[in-house]
Amino acid sequence: MIPGGGQPNMQQLLQQAQKMQQDLAQAQEELAQTPVEGQAGGGLVKATVTGSGELRSLVIDPKAVDPADTETLADLVVAAVQAANENAQQLQQQKLGPLAQGLGGMPGLGF
């Protein structure tokens, strides 16, 4: 409801929605291009993902490779990828959170 009981200005609401859509698309593009790193084993295994969660690289220090213990290496790889994805999620919240909060400020849309 609009203060004073008036109807929302539909043109203004449309412009706000379009701007938010453009801002969201720009933020998503930035996330897709932003590298985020996670590591495990004190840096023996490093994973790089994009801010949108796409795995881009995996670096394994030769000291982490023990042919007799590939299970530990696999655990380190999983942990590094998980850490990178957690960091990517935090970046997403930083970039997209304010945009999502903006939806609540659109009078007349019931958000």
Residue 104 pLDDT level (bands cut at 50, 70, 90): low
pLDDT of residue 13: 86
Find, among 90, 5, 97, 101, the residue nearest to 52 by Cα.
Answer: 90
45-100, pLDDT tens digit by residue? 999 999 888 999 999 999 999 999 999 999 999 999 999 999 999 998 888 887 76
The CA R_g of the chain, rounded to the nearest whole Å, is 21
Q: Is the pLDDT of residue 43 over 90?
A: yes
Q: Is the pLDDT of residue 1 over 60?
A: no
Say how far residue 29 (Cα) sits from the centre of its chain: 11
Burial zone of 81 (CB within 10 Å; 0-12 exposed, 13-18 middle, 19+ buried): buried
> pTM value?
0.69
